[in-house]
Amino acid sequence: MMFRSLFCLVVTGFLYLSPASGEEKYNVLFIAADDMNNDLSAFGYDQVKTPNLERLASMGVRFDRAYCQQPLCGPSRASLMTGLRPDTLDLHTLKHELRERNPDLVTLGQLFRRNGYFSARAGKIYHYGNPSMIGTDGNDDPETWDERYNPQGIDSLQEENIIRYGKGRQDKGLGISMAWWDPVSEDGEHTDGMVATKIIELMKEKKDEPFFLAAGFFNPHCPYVAPKRYFDMYPLDEITIPDLDEAKADLLDVPPMAMQRDIKHWPYYFEDVTVEEARRCKQAYYACNSFVDAQVGRLLDALEETGLIENTIIVFWSDHGYFLGEKGLWYKRKAFERSAKMPMIIAAPGLAEGASTMKPVELLDLYPTLADLCGLTAPENLEGASLRPLLSDPDNAKWEKPAVTQIWHSPEAWGYSIRTDRWRYTEWLEGEAGRELYDHENDPEEITNLASDESKADLIKQLSAQLKPFVGLPPHKRN
């Protein structure tokens, strides 16, 4: 059953979405989660309950192999908001350098502003220190928005209640932490509940004009804080943590550079974090995912109640994936699949519904996609591609573009990883510091590194040549 009215013309064998000149413009609801991996019922992982993301997926296309450009908040978010790779932006850290290094770029929201849209955000779209910058503009870009809103809830205002793990971590910052809190509270007392409330207010206020509204949720980024009822959805005895002996064995064939940030206090990144404490944090992470899902549900309800759902493109994305004890690892900033891949769903009027695709796509594809679907002329230098073919006919669309993710730790430590339909291939320092090759047809958890397998020499040569054009790290970022 079609959930939207159709405003489409048939063009070259598929539905052409963009409104004709003078017709009503499509709105965009741009929904972001922070550090959310694909452990979601909406992506086939039934333990983590996300009924509203399932609902959104039933309205559009679920991208089962969507990848970030760099698994670190700042570069990833800057890249998707500009449609340019971190190397092109010369932005690889959390520093606030986007406009300083690229004064003339046109961001995604800025493009919509220039075309008569009201552009606004609530919460985190560009990088924010979380939770240190909650309630501020963070590393935001003012030229992207007409209005900006920075709510602040008890997750930020009552940090003294947050339980923290790891030797010497009790008085340390929470921006990277094994920490959680499950207050008996209402959604609206938390920052993310306030984000949803503000976006709903803006929908109703701006319902008679075209809008680009961005809801930037801070969860499930650490510290993992959500109302207790979401924790209650995940009994602790049902939370499993990978066996550490098996996890350590998984890393024996991995180049040292790939693990340099994680190996000092392996497992779980911080010194003296126990398996039971990791289990508590995993429970809390799952609770935060369900909390975000509930806010997504509120946004979808508001679109339906106002009738805006008939004329609104909805995008859900996270900035990268996340480890929860697999291989004994925690957090992001790794070249493995679990760190590079994140959830992405797009629902657009008149295009495919209840569909999914296994084709590799990238976050920077979102900019050209939204410009294309809304009939806007995007900057010519965008490095992604419109996902229209996959949104129109995900089963049969021709799509051969790989996904490329890079890691940058320092001038002495960096690498690039390419993901094709079957393979993930990674080079550290262009191969001088090691290589990795994983067969996702037979080894989806990336247990066995095949880079030293002589029978794969020709394949490695081919993938290396395919990766080479994307290796664009500026000279001052190299040793």
Asked if 127 is an active-site residue, the reply is yes
Rg (CA), the chain: 21
The catalytic position among 68, 73, 281, 288 is 73
Picking from 407, 409, 394, the residue whose alpha carbon sits closest to that of residue 344 is: 394
Sign of CA dihedral 121, 123, 129, 133: positive
CA 269 to chain centre: 21
15: which 2 tokens? Answer: 């539905």
The catalytic position among 68, 92, 127, 221 is 127
Residue type present at position 431: G
Q: Where are the beta strands (DSSP E) in 109-247?
A: 118-123, 147-149, 163-165, 178-181, 211-216, 224-225
4: which 2 tokens? Answer: 């939207």
> Which contiguous run of DSSP H or E holds residue 61?
strand 61-63
Which residues, other chains included, contact 269 with Cβ-Cβ below 8 Å and sequence gap of 6+?
Answer: 176, 178, 262, 329, 330, 331
> Which contiguous run of DSSP H or E holds residue 362?
strand 361-362
Q: What's the full length of the chain, in residues?
A: 479
Picking from 161, 212, 367, 189, the residue whose alpha carbon sits closest to that of residue 295 is: 189
How many Cβ atoms sit within 10 Å of the Cβ of residue 100? Answer: 10
How many Cβ atoms sit within 10 Å of the Cβ of residue 413? Answer: 17
Question: CA 232, CA 89: separation in Å to the nearest integer?
Answer: 43
- Give the residue numbers annotated as catalytic, written as ranges: 73, 127
